[in-house]
Amino acid sequence: MSALESSTLRRPELAAEGRRKIAWAEAHMPVLGRIREQFRAERPLAGETVAICLHLEAKTANLALAVQDAGARVVITGSNPLSTQDDVAAGLASLGVEVHSWHGCTPEEYRGFLDRVLDAGPTLLIDDGGDLVARLHTERRDRLGGVRGGCEETTTGILRLRAMDREGRLRFPMVGVNDARMKYLMDNQHGTGQSVWDGIMRTTNLLVAGKTVVVVGYGWCGRGVARRAQGLGARVVAVEVDPFAANVALLDGCQVMSGEEAAAVGDIFITTTGNRAVLTRRHFERMKDGAVLANAGHFDVEIDLPALAELAVETYEARAHVRAYRLADGRRLYLLAEGRLVNLAAADGHPAEIMDLTFALQALALRWVREEAERLGPHLVDVPREIDEQVARLRLAALGAGLDELTPAQRAYLSSWSHE
Ligand code: ADE
């Protein structure tokens, strides 16, 4: 049976359009392209079955194809019910990767797709947010024994893995790709910075200049979102629980306030905390008429959706991906993309040049964990510095950007204490 026949797709007839999107992204992903060439020649994953659970869009398709070119059988599902692009899913299946996913799946269908991927008997994993790993360690323990190791994409997934490792529950090594410098400095900051505004602007078609943007959570993602907001002419308010991050926000030119104070002044609210219920009833009650609410965190728990629904006397679709909640006093709050990650549920995710770096790390980390699994043991581990640096150097080479070198005298100076 071909991959297309064994896949679960909603719109198989869109395969040609999906392949065009995949080709466009590929043309802007030179670092992954170099690794893929090497994989094609060396086949380092021959004999492996790789289960992937990632936001299924065009850049992700290129990672799946690189893993396939490394000799593996690849089975993929989406990591969020709203981020799968049906045309890309069909295009990828037509290129030999087994796909189980569609846009807008129900929670039951979502879990069913995770199970289809696990049914393939994976030996290696790539996860985003930790759902695949969590399911393997709970409902699908029948497939646990076959897995040598895997890689995790995001902050949320790493938090879950850290808890599993701490409690001694993790059964194989997982590489925390998010914590590599070529990930969080690029993807979290610049990727999220651009793609979140892409999602908000596409969805609302409203002006950002002159507005007050409240960024809840001033980690790397929040910083990126705040800086792009400033570039668009907004005033930015940062809401933080960490005193160090709050100080960074102040020096970045943001105002720093409590959530409740910020609720009263914000026009656009963006949550980037990775935590639950960071905007809730006590915030909604203070918000201005017309406030826009968007989430950029992995799960749809940052904006307290049950509390918002409870407060509303009426809800209606104001535009595609925009749900209006009318409160008893007539104020309307506008929720984007059902409170799911706005950059993926209502746009195309991070730019291709950014995902090039993240997915280059994923490809190299997957090869590494396969080779080193026994030595690493069942723990959350960092991407080795050499892989991080290799991706950094490949990116510079792809751009033709030169790097300076230390002279022997400088090297000696840096390692001496006497300074003679
Ligand atoms: N595209 C694929 N995976 C993504 C992610 N984790 N964030 C943004 N864009 C993506």
The preferred substitution site among 29, 59, 155, 272 for testing ligand 1, maximizing ligand atoms within 8 Å of CB, is: 59
Q: Is 356 in the pocket of ligand 1 (CB under 6 A)?
A: no
Q: Is 152 in the pocket of ligand 1 (CB under 6 A)?
A: no
Residue 275 three-state SS: coil
Q: Which tokens sit at 210?
A: 């002159």
Q: Which protein residue has the closest C-alpha to ligand 1 atom 2?
A: 55
Residue 212's nearest CA partner among 301, 290, 312 is 290
How many angstroms separate the CA atoms of 270 and 279, rounded? 10
The tens digit of pLDDT for each residue in 159-173 reads 999 999 999 999 999
Residues 6+ apart with CB under 8 A from 396: 402, 403
Q: Do 3-183+350-399 and 191-345 agree at the fold level?
A: yes
How many angstroms separate the CA atoms of 84 and 17, rounded? 14
Residue 75 three-state SS: strand
Distance, CA 379 to ligand 1 centroid (Å)?
24
Q: In the CATH hierarchy, which top-level class contains the domain 3-183+350-399?
A: alpha beta
Q: Is 349 in the pocket of ligand 1 (CB under 6 A)?
A: yes
Residues 6+ apart with CB under 8 A from 243: none
Q: Which protein residue has the closest C-alpha to ligand 1 atom 9?
A: 349
In which residue are the tokens 């935590």 written?
275
In which residue are the tokens 């850049």 written?
59
Q: Is 350 in the pocket of ligand 1 (CB under 6 A)?
A: yes
Residue 380's nearest CA partner among 179, 167, 174, 178 is 174
In the chain, domain spans:
3-183+350-399, 191-345
**Which residues lie across from 222 on neighbouring strands?**
none
How many angstroms separate the CA atoms of 271 and 275, rounded? 9
* Per-residue confidence in pLDDT tens, the chain, 420 aa: 899 899 999 999 999 999 999 999 999 999 999 999 999 999 999 999 999 999 999 999 999 999 999 999 999 999 999 999 999 999 999 999 999 999 999 999 999 999 999 999 999 999 999 999 999 999 999 999 999 999 999 999 999 999 999 999 999 999 999 999 999 999 999 999 999 999 999 999 999 999 999 999 999 999 999 999 999 999 999 999 999 999 999 999 999 999 999 999 999 999 999 999 999 999 999 999 999 999 999 999 999 999 999 999 999 999 999 999 999 999 999 999 999 999 999 999 999 999 999 999 999 999 999 999 999 999 999 999 999 999 999 999 999 999 999 999 999 999 999 987
Residue 206, φ and ψ in degrees, nearest 5? -110, 160
| Number of residues written out for the chain | 420
Predicted structure pTM score: 0.96
Q: Are 100 and 29 in contact (CB under 8 A)?
A: no
Q: Which residues of 311-349 are buried (b: 16+ CB within 10 A; e: fewer)?
A: bbeeeeeeeebbbbbbbeeebbbbbbbbbbbbbbbbbbb
Q: Are 127 and 76 in contact (CB under 8 A)?
A: no
Q: Is 196 in the pocket of ligand 1 (CB under 6 A)?
A: no
Q: Which tokens sit at 253?
A: 């030119």
> Can you name the CATH fold of 191-345?
Rossmann fold (3.40.50)
Q: Are 151 and 175 in contact (CB under 8 A)?
A: yes
The preferred substitution site among 32, 54, 177 for testing ligand 1, maximizing ligand atoms within 8 Å of CB, is: 54
Q: Is 60 in the pocket of ligand 1 (CB under 6 A)?
A: yes
Residue 53 three-state SS: strand
CA 193 to chain centre: 12
Question: CA of 180: how far to CAs of 117, 304, 383, in Å?
Answer: 27, 31, 6
The pLDDT of residue 46 is 98
Residue 326's nearest CA partner among 307, 340, 311, 342 is 311
The pLDDT of residue 1 is 86
Q: Is 345 in the pocket of ligand 1 (CB under 6 A)?
A: no
Residue 252, φ and ψ in degrees, nearest 5? -80, 5
